[in-house]
Amino acid sequence: MNEASRNLQTSDPALALTLNPVNTDASVNLIVAALNAVEVVDFAALQQQAAGLVATAPADARGYSLMGAIADRQGDADRAQALYGLALQHSKSELHALMRTAVARLQQNDLAGALEHIDLLLRRWPNYWDSAASIVVRMADDPRWERALAAQLERYPPWRGQAIAGLARAGSIDFLVRLLADMPPDQRETPGARGERNTVVTSLLNAGQPAGAHALFTATLTEAERAVAGLVFDGSFSLPPGTSPFAWRVQRQGATEVRQGPVGSSASGLAVIFLDSPARPGIVSQRLAAPPGRYRLSLHSQAVNLRAPRDLFWSVRCEGGPVLLRLDVPVGSTQERLEADLEVPATGCGLQALSLDTSVRTESWRDRYQGEARFTDLALTPL
């Protein structure tokens, strides 16, 4: 009988209670379903059920929390908070009591209390970010409370990453920019910090703020990244490709093998090995944020038995707009310095795309690329 009741406690809690009147999980599910129902709630009956749950399982914090939820629905905020307090005395991590108490503390301008409850909730219930999201977003968007939230996040609680991702989705970008800009330099070295930066930079780009996105990227570089910063980030190809919108990205395709690091006699560079297959455009690429003006793109190129039936070239284009430069890579076995000039227009070109391209549009086996191309010292220089 008890096993049958447990099997039904979620799908049919009323029947589960008929089979086992002391099934506390079934009692909780039945009361929660009634509170969430569309039809009018019989609060007196629910109050009696919740009181029965407390009498049956006095150590179970959920009974007190449900009584608090019923009082909340009846408009008795003081009684609700007293019952939530009882629930938290029995279990500091009772989900609903934590959430409702955090809201109450916020309404009373008790920031420390609100954040203490949010911290407990998200440490114990990390999968319940959606339940806490509205409270955190409200704090981030209110000048009275944003500094307290920032201070809490600067302690690096385990839910910091969730909060940053959630706040980015909610559009709390200004708060996140300030939070990351104030990050201590030693914290920027962690993989988590790079992920946070990428999240906020991408949000700024999606919000149509390219200048702000690039400014945040450059302001939060690690020491190693700062050493290779420029109009082209890491033009020496000394760092591995990343996921940042302003770093090198490698197209994942079976037609090439791409390596960054030592190349031939050079300390660092880019090597692209073509695997006898059609190679599509965008083999490697990077987003740029060059201000309007004239520039020269230059690099050293070395080809080893390179065959490129549909051309191989570097290009710079306005993102979503016209091509500003095409710089062809010689085929065969060659070693040359390549350079060409371009002009970034004053309007319609806040971001640019730099990429190693081909003219392949369809994967015809007549367009198989072979050999190796190596590139070093890629730079964009103002004229």
pLDDT at 14: 57
Is 237 inside any structural domain? no
Cβ proximity of 358 and 308 under 8 Å: yes
The verdict on 208 and 122 lying in the same domain is yes
pLDDT at 11: 62
pLDDT at 18: 59
Is 155 inside any structural domain? yes
Separation in Å, CA 54 to CA 6, 84, 90, 139: 19, 13, 11, 34
With bands split at pLDDT 50, 70 and 90, how would you rate the model's confidence at 188?
confident
Q: Find the largest Cα–Cα distance for the chain.
A: 88
The verdict on 125 and 52 lying in the same domain is yes
The verdict on 182 and 313 lying in the same domain is no
**Which residues constitute the domain of residue 89?**
2-227
| CATH code: domain of residue 326 | 2.60.120.260
**Higher-confidence residue: 257 or 107?**
257
Is 273 inside any structural domain? yes
pLDDT at 146: 92
- Tell me the C-alpha distance between 179 and 169, whole Å: 16
Q: Structural domain tally of the chain?
A: 2
- Tell me the C-alpha distance between 19 and 197, whole Å: 54
Is 242 inside any structural domain? no
What global pTM score does this model have? 0.79
Is 143 inside any structural domain? yes
With bands split at pLDDT 50, 70 and 90, how would you rate the model's confidence at 81?
confident
**Higher-confidence residue: 361 or 166?**
166
The verdict on 270 and 153 lying in the same domain is no
The candidate with the shortest Cα–Cα distance to 24, out of 13, 35, 33, 15, is: 13
pLDDT reading at 352 higher than 90? yes
Residue in the structure block whose two tokens are 């996105």: 213
**Higher-confidence residue: 380 or 360?**
380
Residue in the structure block whose two tokens are 């062809």: 328
The verdict on 50 and 185 lying in the same domain is yes
Q: What is the DSSP string of 110-171?
A: -HHHHHHHHHHHHHH-GGGHHHHHHHHHHHHT-TTTHHHHHHHHTT--TTHHHHHHHHHHHT
**Higher-confidence residue: 257 or 26?**
257
With bands split at pLDDT 50, 70 and 90, how would you rate the model's confidence at 302?
very high
Candidate from 3-7, 69-73, 324-328, 370-374 with smallest mean pLDDT = 3-7
The verdict on 257 and 162 lying in the same domain is no
The verdict on 114 and 48 lying in the same domain is yes
Of all residues in the chain, the percent with pLDDT exceeding 70 is: 90
Contacts of 60 (CB under 8 A, 6+ apart): 24, 53, 54, 90
pLDDT at 22: 61
Is 233 inside any structural domain? no
Candidate from 35-49, 69-83, 112-126 with smallest mean pLDDT = 35-49
The verdict on 45 and 136 lying in the same domain is yes
Which tens digit of pLDDT belongs to each residue from 8-32? 556 665 555 656 666 666 666 777 7
With bands split at pLDDT 50, 70 and 90, how would you rate the model's confidence at 296?
very high
**Higher-confidence residue: 294 or 74?**
294
The verdict on 164 and 283 lying in the same domain is no
pLDDT reading at 371 higher than 90? yes
The verdict on 210 and 270 lying in the same domain is no
Is 52 inside any structural domain? yes
pLDDT at 249: 93
- Tell me the C-alpha distance between 368 and 377, whole Å: 27
The verdict on 62 and 120 lying in the same domain is yes
The verdict on 211 and 352 lying in the same domain is no
| CATH code: domain of residue 155 | 1.25.40.10
Tell me if residue 242 falls in helix, strand or coil. Answer: coil
Is 236 inside any structural domain? no
pLDDT at 216: 93
pLDDT at 87: 78
